[in-house]
Every structure is written in C-alpha cells, then in structure tokens.
Structure 1
Amino acid sequence: MQIIDTVLSYCGWQGVTLAAVLLLSLGIQLYYYLFVYGRIPGYKNSRRRPVLDREPPISVVIPMFSEDYAFIEERLSLILAQSYPDFEVVIVYVGQDTDFYDELRRLGTSFPRIMTTKILLDPRFPISRKMALNVGIKSAHYEHMVFTSTDAVPRSDRWLSLMAKGFLTGDIVIGYCGMERGRGFANYFMRTWRMMHAADWLARAIRRRPYKGILHNFGFTKKIYFGANGFNHLNMNIGEDDLFMQQVMTRDNVSVVLSPRATLSEKVWGGVGWWMSQLRYYGSAFRFYPGAVKRFIRLELLSRLLFWVSAVVALVLMPLEYKLAAAALIVVRYVVVALEVRRIARRLGEGGMVRGYFLYDLLSPFYAVVLGLVLRRKDERVWR
C-alpha cells in the first residue's frame, strides 16, 4: 500500500492505472511464453499411451488444381524419396488437360508408389479442396493417411516416417509447415507469423485442447473420416484443417509431431499483398471457432498490444524513474520472449528468427488488428 501511495502522490491516478496495465499485460505475456509456448520445445509425443504396436502403411494424399510441372519435376521427387518402407502417393488431379493427366498416369508406371485419379473440371461446378480430398481418401488403399499440398516440400527424408510414428499414439496426427525462406523483411514477417500462430494451436494440442492442424501437414484415419460422415461446412471451400478437425479431435486421439526433420516448407508466391490475401481467405473460418479458442488467441495479442502501448506512453510522458522502470520491464520481457522463440524455432527447424523478432513483436499486433478489420468483409472465394 505504501508503494501505491507513493506512486499515487508522485504520478497521480493516471500513473497508477498505467502501471497496473503495464504489469498485468506483462504477467499475461510471461504466462504465454513461459507456460504455454514454453512447453513446445520439450514436448515428447512418446509419453502418450500407444494405440498401435508398429508404424502403419501410409497413403499420402495430394490434391492438384493446375498443370503443375514444377511440382512433378522438383517437389514430388522429395516425397517419393522419403525413407519409409510402405507408402503410396495418391494424386488427385482436378482439371481438363488430358495430356497432363496421361503424363501423370505414365509417371505411375515408372514409380509404382504413385496412384493418380482425376476430377474433370467444369467451370459451372467449381471443385473445392475438400471435394478433391474426399476422392483421394476413397481412392487411398491404406487406413492411415497423411495430407499435404503441391506447394509444400519436406525438409528431410524422415518427414513421413515421423508422421507415421505419430499414428502409434493417435488416430489424428498434426505436424508443422513453415514458409519458404527468402530475402527481405516481408519474407521474415511471413515466416515468423506462420511459426508463432502455429505455436498457438501446437501448444493447445500439447495441452490436450486441440483445435486445428495445418493443411500442408496433417493426417487421420479413414475410421475418423467416415465416422464423422466426411467433411463438414460443405458450403465453404475451406475448413478441412480446422473446422473439420474441431469436430473429430478429442483430448486423447491427437498426436503432435514436432521435429525439424518432420517440418515442411510452403512455397511463397508473392509479398505482403499475397500473404494478406491468404490470411483473409483461410482466416474466414475463424468466426466459427469455439469461444475458448478465440479468447485464447485474442488474449495474447491484446495483452501484447496493451503492453507496448502502455510502455510507450510511460517512456514518453512519465517521470524519469517511471521511464527507467518501464524500460527495465521491456528488457525483461524481450529477453524472455527471445529465448523462448529461439527454443521454439529450433524445435520446428526454423532459422534466423530471433534476429529481427523485436520488430515483428512490435508490429504484429497492429497487423492482426488490420487483418481483423479485413475479415469483417465477406470473402466470396470462401463460399460455394
């Protein structure tokens, strides 16, 4: 009470209120980074109760919505080169190019692991990714399936074996996919945004409160899929990695695979404009998330925004002693955050994250506010 009276007499009620906001927001931030995200680096999936006694054969299902020769010539070979004895690659081609599909089929004669199927594209009846996945699931020969995209490539030849090992302890497997590393701050921002937002759903899954995976690197069994009568939210072109997963995920059936060797990289096709378009498209599902998940995500962003705003106000307007205390709190928070981000990045196989993190940490809450405003407008690409 004496400290409060001293601050009140020295700085007024505005100073006390500012100090309360600063300390409360700092406490919330430290809780997230130390006790929520901080569980990611040391997580061991092997501690879960096994449901299988050996790694199962795997069907890798990949939808293809264009005549992507770059995928065939460059990225597909990295999937076929996976160090795993028993798997197939099911490619679902959605298009009209008969010559391209014939080439895919000829590829299957040279590489018996490849199985191709086709959905004829009719402009009057657009085909969603969920519809393509449904065909791929029904075409797959194996019970256990892993899903990825033509835009993602494994970072090692152990990716599939680690994802398959995840099925030993769960009927649903979720892994991580980062963004392709490039030059410039825009690329760094996209990579860091992907990693730290993945930290939200990875941390929740580790705490047995899962709510999503990532469409480039997740899997489940046919029993899970057909037991739920297939994908939900059929009026939307999105939702297979979150809205559907929220329907089938439980505390005990989700296996989290975290390793640099189990990480994929998604190809970057543009700059910040392309990235915002992607976030707007896939972020349209957020309105349907459970309230607890929304609060969990928003609380971290809100507390970070309040911390920075109150810290800046203290540094600009308050007396010298107050400024020094605020500066000390900024240093303490940043040291904790930087150390935890470094540990998370190492576990997920991401490099060069800490160097520019201070700027990302400062700007990303404001970017999230802009994204929230953008998401208020209906994205016509989402709806069928």
Structure 2
Amino acid sequence: MFNNLSDNFLFIEFNDVFDYLVLGFLIIAFIQLMIYLFIFSRLAFFKNKNETSNKSEPISVIICAKNERDNLLKFLPDFLNQDYPNFEVIVVNDHSVDDTEDVLKAYTMQFKHLKVVNVPDNDRFYGSKKFALTLGIKAAQYDNVLLTDADCKPASKKWIQLMSEYAANKKIILGFGAYEKQKGLLNKLIRFDTLFTATQYLSFALLKLPYMGVGRNLAYNKELFFSVKGFSSHQHILSGDDDLFVNEVANSKNTQIVIEEEAHTVSVPKATFKLWLRQKKRHFSTGKYYKFGHKLMLSIYPLTLLIFVLLFISLVIQQISIHLIVGVFLLRLLIQLLIFIKIEKRLGSKDLWFLAPILELFFMFFNPLLLISNFIKKNTKWS
C-alpha cells in the first residue's frame, strides 16, 4: 500500500513518519479546498434561476412574542407596512407579563390585518415556543406561512414579496437572518458566527442537501407542517422549531433559498457575552437530533480544519517540507478569503472577511467547549 502511495507522490520520499504527515496534510488541505470550491462557492456565485409565479399568493406572517413590548413597538410596524397586496400578521402572545398585550391592542385598532393569538394556560406546554408557534400556524388563514421573531425587522418593504416567491413544487424557503452591525468584538463574533452558519446551510441547500433553517426568516406551506403533525416528533426538545423541523421535512426537491439583501431580516444582537452564550448553547442543543447523515456531513469541515491546523503547526515547527507546507496553507487561505468576500457581499456584510481566519480558529475551539457544557447544564426556557 505504501509503495502505491509513493508512486503517486514522487516528490515525497517517505523515509520517516513526518513524510506521511506531509501526505496527510496535503490530503486534508485538498478536502478543505474542495469544500470551499465545490460547496461554499455555490452560495458565493449563486444566481436565482427558479421560475416563480407572478401571482402574489396570500401569506400569513407569524411572530411569537414573550415579553417583547419594546421590540414590538420598534419593529412590528415594519412588518405591518409591507408592500404586498394580501397578507396578515399574527402575533402570538406567550404569557407576557410586561405591556405586550396593551401594545398589541393598540396596533390592532390601527391595522386590520393584525391578528393576536394569546397562548392559554397549559402546564404541559408552558414556556414552549413550539406550542405557541403551533397555535399561530393553526390560526393562519392562508396556506403559506412566513416566520420571524419579535426582535427582528425586515430589511425592506419587499421582504414578504421576496420570501413568498415559491418556485414550482417548492414548499420551503430558507432565508437569511442577519444581525445588526454594532461596535465591539462581541458583535463581530455574533455576526461572523451567523454568517458562517448561513454559509453552511444555504450552500448545502444548493447542493440539494438541506438540513436546517433559521426561525428569524423561514417560510413554508401549512400542508407540509400538518403532514408531519407539526413539531410532534421533537415536541419534548426545548429548541428546534426551525432547524429540527426543516431537518425533518426538507429534501432535495421541496426546498429553495432566497438571499437577496431586501429579503433579509435584521435582529438585535445580544448585548452581553453571557446572553449570547446562553443563546448559542440553546441552538447547539438541537444538533444531536439531526439525521445521522447530516451530522456526519457537518462534522467533516470542523474535523478536517482541526487536523489541518495541527498538522501545519507540527510540520512548520519541525521545518518539514516548509515551502510546500506554507505554500499549500497560503493557497487554502487565499481561496477561503476570496469565497468569503463573495459570500459577504451576497449576504450584506462586508467588514468581516479579513477577520475570517482568526475568528474561524476561535470557533474551532470554542464550539466544542459549548457542546461539552450542554451535557453539564441544560436550558429550560425558550426566551
């Protein structure tokens, strides 16, 4: 076997273990380059070629709110004033103890297409966003629903129009939910993490392997929701009203993406590291419930990245094939930056590309620590 390897890599002498480490480094680098060139590049150079109907189908926008008085005052009018001929906005008030109810009453007097659903007392489902969202979907009078959160705002008045343009035979539209740009390192961490997560799920959707969506900007057909009995298969799991549902029902034929900047939603990022940490831990808690093939698929990039970095450091320290190793490293870095710059432009963020290698390394170690911490302490609330 080693003789065959030597025939294919004549520039490597294979005299000791470090020669095989060089070979391993080259193989891992090749995998990393293929991920960027054949998966992530799909998003970077995406052009929407789907033929959509010019007919503006009526749609129900659903927003779950739990103690969201301030956000509803700021953002709800942006949803109610969308440039779309036939839509309703449903706000599900989930046992809010602030002035949410009063704010919604005031808005219903001004906007006839606003509907309020109050979650009834139910000890079994108390504090469950999935229960609140199910009530909102059941109350929707239209066949297509468009989901977002109370702390989001649409990027434009064309948000509904763009997020409701279903191509033929499509039942799910995956959108992008951005975070507002602010000063500070925490904001860069949040926006980079969001951008890279979107890079993965949107790119794999274009590869006909959809595995998740985000509830800040997600649309689907009610019939699809009820065909799998809603969230019943994962009702016992705190999170997953977006990614676990999409993981269950999405396939190569029924899912599309919409990434125009006017179709984005923009959310207020967490103000403290503690709040962001809690949010990320909640999101991570659902990953273990993904389909096995999706978990395997998603593990390839971070695992090969870790091996790539460790081999690079080891070989540079030992000064083994230094010019080859550094050259391959720089090639991978160049491809990464070029693809990331293109994706940033597509998703409306243009100030993170130069930090991408550093932030990527941070999350390479930070995310596994969060996964481990989820086994120690679990969240019990959805907001």
Give TM-score scaled by structure 2 length.
0.91
State how far apart, in whole Å, the 2-side matches of 1:133 and 1:200 are. 26
Change (3 A) 1:352 1:96: closer
Identity of aligned residues (%): 25
Corresponding residue for residue 376 of structure 2 = 377
- Quick one: distance in 2 between partners of 1:97 and 1:3? 69
Q: Is the 8 A contact 1:243 1:288 kept in 2?
A: yes
1:46–1:380 distance in 2 versus 1, CA, 3 Å: same
SS of the aligned residue for 2:246 comes to: helix
1:239 counterpart SS class: coil
CA distance in 1, matches of 2:350, 2:79: 22
Residue 343 of structure 1 is matched in structure 2 by 342
Rounded Cα–Cα distance in structure 2 between residues aligned with 1:153 and 1:198: 18
Q: Give the whole-Å Cα distance in 2 for the aligned partners of 1:370 and 1:221.
A: 37
For the residue of structure 2 that corresponds to 1:148, the secondary structure is strand
TM-score normalised according to structure 1 size:
0.90
Alignment of 1:21-60 (within 5 A): 21-47=24-50, 54-60=55-61
Aligned to 1:275: 276
1:39-96 Cα offsets, whole Å, 9 max, x none, are: 0133234336x5x562311110001011x23222211122223222221110111125
SS across alignment from 1:142: coil
Structure 2 counterpart of 1:18, one-letter code: L
User: Greater CA deviation, 276-285 or 367-376?
Assistant: 367-376
The alpha-carbon deviation at position 35 of structure 1 amounts to 0.4
Query: Residue by residue, what CA displacement relative to the aligned partner does 1:214-268 show, whole Å, maximum 9, x if unpaired?
Result: 0111011111112222213111222121222222222211121111111112211
* Contact 2:174–2:214 (8 Å) recurs in 1: yes
Match of 1:245 in 2: 246
Measure, in 2, the Cα distance between the counterparts of 1:56 and 1:255.
17
- CA apart distance, 1:167: 5.8
* 1:321-376 CA distance string (max 9 Å, x none): x2222221221111100000011111111221212112113222112221232233
Structure 1 residue 16: deviation in Å?
A: 0.9
Partners of 1:85 and 1:41 lie apart in 2 by: 32
Relative distance call for 1:228 and 1:382 in structure 2 (3 A) is: same
Give the structure 2 partner of residue 188 of structure 1. 188
Which residue is equivalent to 1:295?
296
Partner residue in 2 for 1:174: 174
**Structure 1 residues 325 and 134 mapped into 2: Cα distance closer, same or farther (>3 Å)?**
same
Deviating runs (4+, > 6 A) in structure 1? none
* Aligned counterparts of 2:143 and 2:301: Cα–Cα separation in 1: 38
Which is further off, 245-254 or 212-221? 245-254
1:171/1:363 CA distance change after superposition, 3 Å? same
Please give the alpha-carbon distance, in whole angstroms, between the structure 2 residues aligned to 1:62 and 1:187: 24
Q: Secondary structure at the match of 1:89?
A: strand
Q: Which residue identity is paired with 1:113?
A: H
Matched with 2:210 is 210
**Rounded Cα–Cα distance in structure 2 between residues aligned with 1:130 and 1:231:** 7
SS of residue matched to 1:303: helix
Contact 2:261 2:347 in 1 (8 A): yes
Contact 1:342/1:354 (8 A) holds in 2: yes
Unaligned runs of 5+ in 1: none
1:71 aligned to 2:74? no
Change (3 A) 1:274 1:2: same
RMSD: 2.4
Deviation at 1:168, TM superposition (A): 5.5
SS at structure 2 position matched to 1:95? coil
Contact 1:88–1:115 (CA under 8 A) maintained in structure 2: yes
Aligned length: 376
- 1:156–1:261 contact (8 Å) kept in structure 2: yes
- What is the identity, as a one-letter code, of the residue corresponding to 1:36? I
State the SS of the aligned residue for 2:27. Answer: helix
The answer on whether the counterparts of 1:21 and 1:306 sit within 8 Å (CA) in structure 2 is: no
* 1:234 alignment partner in structure 2: 235
Q: Equivalent residues in 2 for 1:281-360 (5 A)?
A: 281-319=282-320, 322-360=321-359
The aligned amino acid for 1:298 is S
Question: Could you say which residue in structure 1 is the equivalent of 2:133?
Answer: 133
Give the CA deviation at 1:285: 1.2
- Aligned amino acid, residue 335 of structure 2: V
CA distance in 2, matches of 1:216, 1:56: 21
Q: After the TM superposition, which of the residue ranges 96-105 and 252-261 deviates more from structure 2?
A: 96-105
Distance 1:97 1:314, change over 3 A: closer
2-side partners of 1:350 and 1:99: how far apart?
34
- The one-letter code matched in structure 1 to 2:300 is L
Return the alpha-carbon distance in structure 1 between the equivalents of residues 125 and 209 of structure 2: 37
The 3 A distance-change label for structure 1 pair 100 and 274 is closer
Check the 8 A contact 2:215/2:241 in 1, yes or no: yes
Q: What displacement does 1:2 show?
A: 7.6
Inter-partner Cα distance in structure 2 for 1:61 and 1:74: 17
1:172-213, CA deviations, whole angstroms, 9 ceiling, x for partnerless residues?
Answer: 111011222122222212211111122221112112221111
1:281–1:382 Cα contact (<8 Å) kept: no
Whole-Å separation in 1 of the counterparts to 2:276 and 2:177: 15
Residue of structure 2 equivalent to 1:18: 21
1:345–1:96: structure 2 CA closer, same or farther, 3 Å change rule?
closer
**Secondary structure of 1:255 counterpart:** strand
Indicate if the aligned counterparts of 1:175 and 1:214 stay in contact, CA closer than 8 A. Answer: yes
d(CA) in 2 for partners of 1:313, 1:107: 62
Residue in structure 2 matched with residue 164 of structure 1 by the alignment: 164
